[in-house]
């Protein structure tokens, strides 16, 4: 049974370029989360979806970040234009339903480096 | 509101020694509590969780944690550390009946010396 799939695993880009991160959640999971992990801030929740709809994006810088979930099996996180401070590991996670005792299943992450 | 504090960003132990990683939580309602482990270059994976059954919860790889309401703690222990336990450990809290979005602690890096 495949877990959460993320691509690419590594991305190196130059400041000002557009970056698109991709995620495929576990089949049947209604919730999808995007996190950013840095040494300074730890694990930050950027945005999450329920049944493809954005539920909360208050953690996401709206001027340059956008997140979409066009179907139940695919989500993207786009950064345009990218900046060096966006360098981080970005995780996608999914969860079965809204029960708060449910664990989150994390993907392997995308390590983004913006030069 | 819910929050988690993990005491000590780094914990260093010798192989075979007791592992103790501390987690204190704050929650306005009875919580669900989780420990996740992150191995290098991997995502987080669930180690164990407390959902109000037994207060002593056993997880994978010999880890266990005890929920202590009076101390608002959920410390993670393992009797004997193994080199393969070296990883980052995250405590998380989720409020029952409230937002089902967990709040994660800052993480504790476990270093195991031979």
Q: DSSP string spanning A4-23?
A: -EEE-SEEEE-TT--EEEEE
Mutate which of B100, B103, B104 to disrupt the A interface (most A C-beta within 10 Å)?
B100
The residue ranges of DSSP E strands in A1-115, in sequence order, are 5-7, 10-13, 19-24, 31-38, 42-50, 53-56, 65-71, 74-79, 88-95, 105-106, 110-114
The widest CA-to-CA distance across chain B, in whole angstroms, is 45
pLDDT (mean) for A82-102: 88
Who among A48, A91, A103 is closest to B43 (CB)?
Answer: A91
Residues of A in contact with B51 (CB under 8 A): 101
DSSP string of B26-93, one letter each residue: E-SSPEEEEEEEE-TTS-EEEEEEE-SS-SEEE-GGG-EEEEETTTTEEEEEESS--GGG-EEEEEEE
C-alpha distances in angstroms, A1 versus A4, A6, A25, A44, B36? Answer: 10, 15, 12, 27, 20
Q: Is B44 part of the contact surface with chain A (CB cutoff 8 Å)?
A: yes
Inspect the interface and report whether the beta carbons of A42 and B34 lie closer than 8 Å. no
Distance of alpha carbon A89 from alpha carbon B41, whole angstroms = 9
Closest residue of A to B91, CA-based? Answer: A43
The answer to whether the beta carbons of residues A43 and B104 sit under 8 Å apart is yes
The widest CA-to-CA distance across chain A, in whole angstroms, is 41
Q: What is the CA radius of gyration of chain A?
A: 13
Q: What is the CA radius of gyration of chain B?
A: 13
Q: What is chain B's pLDDT, residue by residue, as a tens digit (114 residues)?
A: 788 999 989 999 999 999 999 999 998 788 899 999 999 989 999 999 998 778 899 999 999 999 999 999 999 999 999 999 999 999 999 887 666 688 899 999 999 999
- pLDDT attached to residue B98: 64
Closest CA to B78 of B48, B51, B107, B53: B48
3-state secondary structure of A84: helix
Q: Is A59 part of the contact surface with chain B (CB cutoff 8 Å)?
A: no
Q: Is B94 part of the contact surface with chain A (CB cutoff 8 Å)?
A: yes
Residues of A in contact with B106 (CB under 8 A): 42
- For residue A77, what pLDDT band results from cuts at 50, 70 and 90? very high
Inspect the interface and report whether the beta carbons of B43 and A48 lie closer than 8 Å. no
Q: Is B45 part of the contact surface with chain A (CB cutoff 8 Å)?
A: yes
Minimal CA separation from B96 to chain A, in Å: 6
């Amino acid at each position: 049974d495949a877990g959460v799939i993320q691509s690419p695993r590594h991305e190196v880009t130059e400041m000002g370029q557009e970056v698109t991160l991709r995620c495929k959640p576990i089949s049947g999971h209604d919730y999808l989360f995007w996190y950013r992990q840095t040494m300074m801030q730890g694990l930050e929740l950027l945005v999450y979806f329920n049944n493809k709809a954005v539920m909360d994006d208050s953690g996401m810088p709206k001027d340059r970040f956008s997140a979409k979930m066009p179907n139940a099996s695919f989500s993207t996180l786009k950064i345009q234009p990218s900046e060096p401070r966006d360098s981080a590991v970005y995780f996608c996670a999914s969860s079965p339903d809204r029960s708060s005792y449910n664990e989150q299943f994390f993907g392997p992450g995308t390590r983004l480096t913006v030069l | 509101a819910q929050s988690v504090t993990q005491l000590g960003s780094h914990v260093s132990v010798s192989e075979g020694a007791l592992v103790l990683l501390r987690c204190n939580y704050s929650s306005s309602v009875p919580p669900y509590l989780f420990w996740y482990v992150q191995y290098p270059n991997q995502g987080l994976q669930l180690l164990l969780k407390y959902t109000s059954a037994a207060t002593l919860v056993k997880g994978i790889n010999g880890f266990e944690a005890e929920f202590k309401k009076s101390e608002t703690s959920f410390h993670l222990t393992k009797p004997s550390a193994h080199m393969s336990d070296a990883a980052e450990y995250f405590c998380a809290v989720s409020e029952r009946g409230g937002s089902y979005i967990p709040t994660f602690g800052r993480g504790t890096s476990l270093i195991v010396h031979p």
